[in-house]
A and B are shown apart, each in its own frame.
Chain A
Amino acid sequence: MADRNSDQATSILAEPVRFPSEEEFPRRYRLLRRNMILIMVAVTILPLVMMAVINHYEYQQALRREIITPMRSLVSKTQHSFELFLTERLSAVSFIASAYSFEELSDQKTLNRIFHVMKDKFGGFVDLGLIDSFGVQKSYVGPYSLEGKTYMDHDWFREVTVRGEHISEVFMGYRKFPHFVIAIRTENQIGENWILRATIDTEKFNSLIASMGLDSSSDAFIVNHSGVFQTSSRFYGKVLERFPMPMPPINYETDVVETMDPQGHPILLAYKYFLSPSFVLMLAKPRSEVLKSWYTLKSEILIIFIVSVLLIFLVVFKITDILVKRIEISDRERLVTYHEIEHTNKLASVGRLAAGVAHEINNPMAIINEKAGLLQDLIETMPTFERKEKFLKLTESINACVDRCSTITHRLLGFARRMDVEIETIDLNEVVQEVYGFLEKEAFHRNIEVRLNLDKELPEISSDHGQLQQVFLNILNNAFSAVEDGGSIAITSRRQDPELVSVSIEDNGIGMSEETMSRIFDPFFTGRKGYGTGLGLSITYGIIKKLGGHIEVNSREGKGTTFTVFLPKSAKQEAEA
């Protein structure tokens, strides 16, 4: 397509200066934008992330401590209750063993009475028996008939013989209830010794565990050192079944470990080993339950974190976008101003050159004028002579040429003079004709028909002659480059209303697309790459705005283009407003 925006006025007069092309601009600003975003995001997000992470761990630890401590103390307290209970039972049996002699205890009646008192006062006793130092059951009160039974080879008998007392692990006894045994060896002054053995059910164990007041997801139970349940567990097995997890390391202080239950759920396990018997009290809580509040908080923190990160990104992007756009715009504006100045300077120097040349030519032209005039005078005063008419024609033709030359020099001088910005009274028709004068020769050579439909009644306006010249020169130049040889251009001046006049320049050239039309007044937009600076119409637009007018463009591809310049009758008022 033809370059509607080429700045021929400049390119005719001097080499157009090369400027960074359209494509080079975005890359620079993209880079700038990217760097700014990276730095800003890094500076804002990094501390936020660090803070969130630190907070996360700090809080997790604090919360864990807060949850673990009660678990630990609960286990300690309960274990203490167990020991108290066991000691009490042990003392009771021990007291009986010491308070009565072997003979008294051997008596079935006495033993029966004692058994019933104990059952009554302490509860939980299932049977009571006396065993002599050879391990033979001497007397027995209880649901079995065990008299005469020998315990010589039993482990507990050996232990009680050595240690003096024994508390057994839990076993399934009478009526399929879990029981345990307490045995005490007593020695009298003469060295005889015997063993009092009582069986107690584990009802009390359950009530001790129940007194811990656990919630439904927690579980407390006792296992022995080799991992057999001594009480039933809520989740992990019945009494005398195997504890399904590895035993925690032996620790006679309460400890809490994190482990996995057989279902694979993470749990917190608080435990304490008994000194004697070989019990371990355990309290298991699912970790998810324990840290539920923490997880809730964590998700809240996460949401806040994500929202603020998004917000930061949004703000950073927006701010950077605005900033970079501002920079881009101001860069462009600066460049445009720079080029406008350069353009003006160029025109000014061209003007000075033209003025110099015109003036130099003007003087000899004046002499030629006078000489030819004198020659004419001389010929006219002479009497008729041969070829007098021919001579007169020659001098006339010289005069005509001088007139033509002086028109040209005056026009050049006028052009130079009008480089200075000033508001004066102007006949727009005259300006249009002057500008057309510059292009008349081109029109002639390219056989372009230029019609001037100038309104004779057009009111004079006050505006800047030189600037308007440039405006029309730019538009007319574009029209000339848009039309084919033999095309036509119409220049029409019209009075729109009392305060507004217009000049439209219509061509039947190649026209342009909507998209091009929307951009022709943008600086650096050129239809043809590398042709012109793309400033011609931008400057034109700027000048018209400055003079208080406006410009309209109408174009159809393949049909032609019409530029219409509207100017107020008085530029000054509008320009100052």
Chain B
Amino acid sequence: MNKIKVLLVDDEQEFVSTLAERLEFRDIETLVAMNGEQALHLIEEHKPPLVVLDVLMPGIGGLDVLKRIKRKHPEIQVILLTGHGSTKDGIKGMYQGAFDYLMKPVNIEELINRMNEALEPSKLRSR
């Protein structure tokens, strides 16, 4: 399997950069965006196959970003991160085409498992 390439979007710089560093440790190539606009910009530029997206962000919210990604690039897989105990946002996101949602704080192993699942071609087809 090729090296996974993922875009991480979160407004908490400390969180997102640390997570990026940890993923790099595990041989996952990462891009980091601090807000929705930046994320959309990076997607246009790099076309990553996978985006890990925080739902609650200032500016363009996570669900809006998801909507725009899916409209332009339906092939890009999105995993949502919710800090909001609510499963509602997660479920809403999944209706809009997100692959799955995880609650913060997130376990790194679980995140990687989800990422792998998202990128598996068989899963892609079944969805």
Do A and B bind? yes
Q: Which residues of A contact B (CB under 8 A)?
A: 355, 358-359, 362-363, 365-371, 373-374, 377, 381, 402, 406, 409-410, 412-414, 416-417
Give the distance to chain A from B88, nearest Cβ to Cβ, in Å: 7
Is B21 an interface residue, CB under 8 A from the partner?
yes
CB of A406 within 8 A of CB of B105, answer yes
Report A-chain residues with C-beta under 8 Å of the C-beta of B103: 406, 410
CB of A367 within 8 A of CB of B86, answer no
A377-B86 contact in complex given A365-B105, A370-B15, C-beta closer than 8 Å = no
Q: Indicate the member of A355, A363, A412, A414 with the most B CB atoms within 10 Å.
A: A363
CB of B106 within 8 A of CB of A366, answer yes
Report B-chain residues with C-beta under 8 Å of the C-beta of A377: 22, 25
CB of B15 within 8 A of CB of A410, answer no
Q: Report Cα–Cα, A366/B81, bound state, in Å.
A: 11
CB of B18 within 8 A of CB of A370, answer yes
Q: Report Cα–Cα, A379/B11, bound state, in Å.
A: 27
Q: Report Cα–Cα, A355/B85, bound state, in Å.
A: 8
Q: Contact partner of A363 among B22, B25, B83, B108, CB < 8 A?
A: B83
A369-B105 contact in complex given A374-B21, A377-B25, A381-B25, C-beta closer than 8 Å = yes
Is B19 an interface residue, CB under 8 A from the partner?
yes
Other 15 A-B pairs with CB < 8 A, given A363-B104, A370-B18: A355-B85, A359-B85, A362-B105, A363-B83, A366-B106, A368-B105, A369-B105, A370-B19, A370-B105, A371-B14, A373-B22, A406-B104, A410-B103, A412-B85, A417-B88
Is B46 an interface residue, CB under 8 A from the partner?
no
Q: List, sorted by A's number, 24 A–B pairs whose CB atoms are closer than 8 Å.
A: A359-B83, A359-B85, A362-B83, A362-B104, A362-B105, A363-B15, A366-B12, A366-B15, A366-B104, A366-B105, A366-B106, A369-B105, A369-B106, A370-B19, A370-B105, A373-B18, A374-B25, A406-B105, A410-B103, A413-B84, A413-B85, A414-B85, A416-B85, A417-B88
CB of A367 within 8 A of CB of B85, answer no
Report A-chain residues with C-beta under 8 Å of the C-beta of B18: 367, 370-371, 373-374
Give the distance to chain B from A400, nearest Cβ to Cβ, in Å: 12
Report B-chain residues with C-beta under 8 Å of the C-beta of A406: 103-105
Report B-chain residues with C-beta under 8 Å of the C-beta of A363: 12, 15, 83, 104
CB of A367 within 8 A of CB of B12, answer yes
Report B-chain residues with C-beta under 8 Å of the C-beta of A371: 14, 18
Q: Report Cα–Cα, A413/B56, bound state, in Å.
A: 15
Report B-chain residues with C-beta under 8 Å of the C-beta of A370: 14-15, 18-19, 22, 105
CB of B15 within 8 A of CB of A367, answer yes
Report A-chain residues with C-beta under 8 Å of the C-beta of B84: 359, 413
Count of CB-CB pairs between chains A and B under 8 Å: 63
Report A-chain residues with C-beta under 8 Å of the C-beta of B22: 370, 373-374, 377
Q: Report Cα–Cα, A381/B27, bound state, in Å.
A: 13
Q: Which residues of B contact A (CB under 8 A)?
A: 12, 14-15, 18-19, 21-22, 25, 56, 83-86, 88, 103-106, 108
CB of B85 within 8 A of CB of A402, answer no
Report B-chain residues with C-beta under 8 Å of the C-beta of A373: 18, 22, 108
Q: Report Cα–Cα, A366/B107, bound state, in Å.
A: 10
Give the distance to chain A from B39, nearest Cβ to Cβ, in Å: 18
Q: Report Cα–Cα, A371/B16, bound state, in Å.
A: 10
Which B residue sits closest to A381, measured CB to CB?
Answer: B25
Report B-chain residues with C-beta under 8 Å of the C-beta of A414: 85
Which A residue sits closest to B14, measured CB to CB?
Answer: A367
A409-B85 contact in complex given A362-B105, A363-B104, A381-B25, C-beta closer than 8 Å = yes
Q: Report Cα–Cα, A178/B84, bound state, in Å.
A: 134
Report A-chain residues with C-beta under 8 Å of the C-beta of B104: 362-363, 365-366, 369, 406
Q: Report Cα–Cα, A239/B18, bound state, in Å.
A: 146
Report B-chain residues with C-beta under 8 Å of the C-beta of A412: 85
Which A residue sits closest to B104, measured CB to CB?
Answer: A366
Which B residue sits closest to A417, measured CB to CB?
Answer: B86
Give the distance to chain A from B16, nearest Cβ to Cβ, in Å: 9
Q: Report Cα–Cα, A374/B86, bound state, in Å.
A: 27
Which A residue sits closest to B13, measured CB to CB?
Answer: A367
Q: Report Cα–Cα, A90/B54, bound state, in Å.
A: 147
Report B-chain residues with C-beta under 8 Å of the C-beta of A417: 85-86, 88
Report B-chain residues with C-beta under 8 Å of the C-beta of A409: 85
Report B-chain residues with C-beta under 8 Å of the C-beta of A374: 18, 21-22, 25
